[in-house]
Amino acid sequence: MKEICKNKDEVLWLDADDPDTQLLFENPTSTRLRTIIGSHKILVVDEAQRIKDIGIKLKLISDQIKDVQLVATGSCSFELANQINEPLTGRKWEYQLYPISYSEMVSHHGLLEEMRMVPHRMVYGYYP
């Protein structure tokens, strides 16, 4: 996501690992959220599961600030899914990002390099 969004002025990237970002979402109103988002057309909330009651806050943005596209990501999809208690019916699309395959890595790095990396891959896998 960072690679897709870099050098785009219309994107506001908020990292919820940062306590300052978490504070932005405490007791939000639609007016306060509009002020935070400003003129940005896309809002990315990375590690969204870190924000308390994130589902209600995402719903508020989706319902009240119609001209902003909202993207919520999380490295722990189970935790994020458990944090979103609002159904968001008709307002969300979920994407699963599966690990990279061995053949994809061979195509990218070459067979010899991937054979050398087998011990490393056995421990750490092929995270996206």
**pLDDT tens track of the chain, all 128 residues?**
787 777 788 999 999 999 999 999 998 898 999 999 999 999 999 998 889 888 888 889 988 998 999 998 887 655 555 555 556 566 666 767 778 888 999 999 999 999 999 998 888 887 65
Question: How much is the pLDDT for 85?
Answer: 57
pTM beyond 0.85, yes or no: no
Q: Give DSSP secondary structure letters for the chain.
A: -HHHHTT-TTEEEEETTSHHHHHHTSS--HHHHHHHHTT-SEEEEETGGGSTTHHHHHHHHHHH-TTSEEEE--S-HHHHHHH--S--TTT------PPPPHHHHHHHH-HHHHHHTHHHHHHH----
Question: What is the domain partition of the chain in residue ranges?
Answer: 2-97, 99-128
